[in-house]
Amino acid sequence: MSEPILTVFTKPWTGPLPQLADTVAGLGLQGVELPVRPGYQVTPETAAAGLPAAARTLAARGLSIRSIAGSIDEATVAACGEAGVPMIRICVAIDPAVGFRATVDDCRRRFDALLPALERHGVAIGIQNHSGAQIGSAAGVLYLIERYDPKHVCAVLDMAHCGVAGEPTDLAVDILSDRLRLVNFKSAYQRRLTAPEEEAVYKVHWTTHQHAAYSWRDFVQALRKVGYSGAWCLPAEYSHPSGKGQRMGDEVLPFLRGDIAHLKGLLGEVTEG
């Protein structure tokens, strides 16, 4: 395998881009997944100029934008192409008014319409599985994207969501192995909110590697087995102790540093067999 490229999803930080770049460089990472969303350093309205400018700012600190989390439209695709960003990552929520199949059909129509722009600008749409009322499994992602060339529409595998749903690591990697261009390393488990004698109510709790509902080591080994060569992203998602939302800003750093060190250690292990 080539030298792993480790990135972080910079959702926790909404401050100035130079400050963000310093923070990420200080973590010993090689790149970022940048949110292109309202309230962030680059917004959908400013993407045409803002994304190339952000790429230059990050490059000055030895970092690249390996993916963005944003909308899929021709303007965003063109901005990514201009900035040298290879992927727009999205999740697919199921519209309850029309159901699963109609949602998939609508997504495919949108992908089809964007294929010429994706080809022209050298950008891919990356579909990430997500728990809840969304396409949540590796099998579901494959069903959605199987007809497409991975250079246009590819897979982003997030084992935390698979772990919550009970999809085995080896199976998930095998299902998407020839379409994977990004993998997420974050952790979650179903936390029970009610007492044992009461009706069970659970909530997903986002945490650190040692409390994940799957094995980070097994995930790394499965990816090595299939020759995975894309980026390795740490989404920096940790539940806020209040129970509302996630930790934001530098509050994530103690947890993120521990996860980075653990992942680097796993990547440095020599796997026999």
Name beta bridge partners: 233. 7, 184
Give the pLDDT score at 1. Answer: 52
Look at residue 273 in the predicted model and tell me its pLDDT: 40
pLDDT tens by residue, 211-241: 999 999 999 999 999 999 999 999 999 999 9
- What pLDDT does residue 144 have? 98
Q: What is the identity of the amino acid at 239?
A: S
List, for residues 53-105, the tens digit of each pLDDT value. Answer: 999 999 999 999 999 999 999 999 999 999 999 999 999 999 999 999 999 99
- The pLDDT, as a whole number, for residue 271 is 46
For the stretch 184-203, pLDDT in tens is 999 999 888 999 899 999 89
Torsions phi, psi for 245 (to 5 deg): 75, -160
Residue 12 has pLDDT above 70, yes or no: yes
**Separation CA 95–CA 267 (nearest Å):** 38
State how far the Cα of 128 lies from the Cα of 182, in Å rounded to an integer: 9
CB-CB contact of 263 with 255 (8 Å) = no
Distance CA 61, CA 57 (A): 7
Give me the chain's average pLDDT, please: 95
| Cα(152)–Cα(181) distance, integer angstroms | 11
pLDDT over threshold 90, residue 138: yes
* Mean pLDDT for the stretch of residues 168-181: 97
